[in-house]
Chain A
């Protein structure tokens, strides 16, 4: 499976042309191209009522299972703050799933639990049936803060993961150069992060994570620190890149537009305590073009419906 995005076959297509179809043949284990949005189901999860039978075997294509996860933090006033309450969610392989919610609803914490950076207070998260106990190269994070290594050049940052995995220097460099080109930074290989704008830094961060071939991308409000224009460009480019190999993506955002535009599924969360409120299938054709989508009444309806649901929730107090 690792071959599928090492940049050789799938990246020959010029960047930005959205030519994802070519890479379909690499996706043996993934859902057949074109049927993607039908084939992927995020098991919803009204957290309270859904209890997973212990004996049940998950469908073969479930890649991440979050099973009754709760997270309690102790605040500085020594009071318990329930960041996540009894969250259950299953994510299918190859799905683009957004977690959408107001700030403070614990959506990032949920992502950190899947990443293995934070241990849940209760419950377990599993990756391919294995309980997650720590970070690993099968789950690649992309953070809002970029978190690049400032002492490394763009190339050095992107090569870091492959080198760590024992890929020979020449090979790692060749792959990294292809990835840098794919994220639109050809010519900036020898620049240091300090010399780059926010959008460029996030492109490097994405390339750095893609370079070690994680099976799941964990994106933590990756475009949250960028201006509107840059944000739109990066959303488009991310979709184009994603179309090539349809990697599983868990994407945290507080932007309704962004979630609807990018995702197959939108997981709506409510805050205090953080719970899953609604899981919405976004049944829009792919590959998606922003300009077409903005005019599409179905897209508009998704956005309006979700915004309404949030408004209702706010009026009615804590949802669920």
Chain B
């Protein structure tokens, strides 16, 4: 039997969902607008989409681009951020560049990228990559900068080379911060994924959504929003589990440190 507090905590998101759907249902019934289907109509349309082979291929293509864009971004951004955090020279070189790119909406770059690279996978994956990179670089940079000097000295005294210190001390020490950046990056990957497919409409979940809108299939539009939203929630939940497991050491197991000299 779960203690009441745990039960409440577990049930809260489910209750929030039910509440949201209930408000939707009531609002939709009250407005009686063709472009605003009821929650039940939208949910009924979900199996049709997921059962359709064409739609499924589109959604999987979206997820593939997202995975590649996110994966490559993480693989590039973590080392770059860590190097920037530990080396003034590297930071001085990349900082101005990143400061310029940071506030630019990555979707706004799409027209140029489309012009050069077409409307295919490369363009969309590149936009996802750009969207994910910056928060991951930023958090890796901050994490690496905050690593205690004495910890690195201790490693140096044990005979770790500068490269080994970066890999075996800075990386694990900055991991909690890095994973915070990755979590933000994951949500941004989903956002840029859908955005890129809305701009370069050729395939993907965003494409299904906008095609349905063009054809006035409003239940499909809302069903796609639910599907994409659910994807985001699931990916985030899975990531959070992985994160919590990887940085268990940074959370105290007990509320109070043990008293023992």
Contact = CB atoms under 8 A, between A and B. Distances in A.
Nearest to A150: B249
B261 A199 contact: yes
Interface string B93-109: 00000000000000000
B216 to A, nearest CB: 55
Interface stretch (A21-29, A188-196, A290-298): A188-196
A160 B158 contact: yes
Contact of A150 (B158, B173, B253, B261): B173
B160 interface: yes
Interface residues of B, number: 26
Nearest to B257: A197
Contact of A164 (B159, B252, B254): B159
B232 to A, nearest CB: 29
Nearest to A143: B150
Interface in B217-261: 247, 249-254, 257-261
A200 B261 contact: yes
A9 to B, nearest CB: 24
Nearest to A231: B261
B164 to A, nearest CB: 8
A181 interface: no
Instruction: Report which residue of A136, A147, A148, A191 has the largest number of chain B beta carbons within 10 angstroms of its beta carbon.
Output: A147
Contact of A230 (B156, B247, B258, B261): B261
A199 B25 CA distance: 60
B126 interface: no
Contacts of A273: none
B261 A234 contact: yes
A214 B157 contact: yes
A147 B154 CA distance: 7
A246 B90 CA distance: 45
B74 interface: no
Contacts of A197: 257-261
Given A135-B156, A140-B157, A195-B253, A145 B148 contact: yes
Interface range on chain A (Cβ under 8 Å from partner): 35 or more
Interface in A111-130: 112, 115-117
A161 interface: yes
B159 A195 contact: no
B71 interface: no
A194 B150 contact: no
A8 to B, nearest CB: 21
Interface string B148-187: 1011011011111000000001001101000000000000
A196 to B, nearest CB: 6
A194 B148 contact: no
Contacts of A94: none
Given A149-B151, A149-B169, A151-B175, A137 B257 contact: no
Nearest to B171: A151
A139 B172 contact: no
A229 interface: yes
13 contacts: A112-B153, A141-B154, A143-B150, A149-B169, A149-B173, A192-B253, A194-B249, A194-B251, A194-B252, A195-B254, A195-B257, A199-B261, A200-B258
Given A150-B173, A150-B250, A209-B157, 8 more contacts: A136-B159, A141-B154, A147-B153, A147-B154, A149-B173, A151-B249, A195-B258, A200-B261
Interface of B: 148, 150-151, 153-154, 156-160, 169, 172-173, 175, 247, 249-254, 257-261
Interface of A: 112, 115-117, 134-137, 139-141, 143, 145, 147-152, 160-161, 164-165, 191-192, 194-197, 199-200, 208-209, 212, 214, 226, 229-230, 233-234
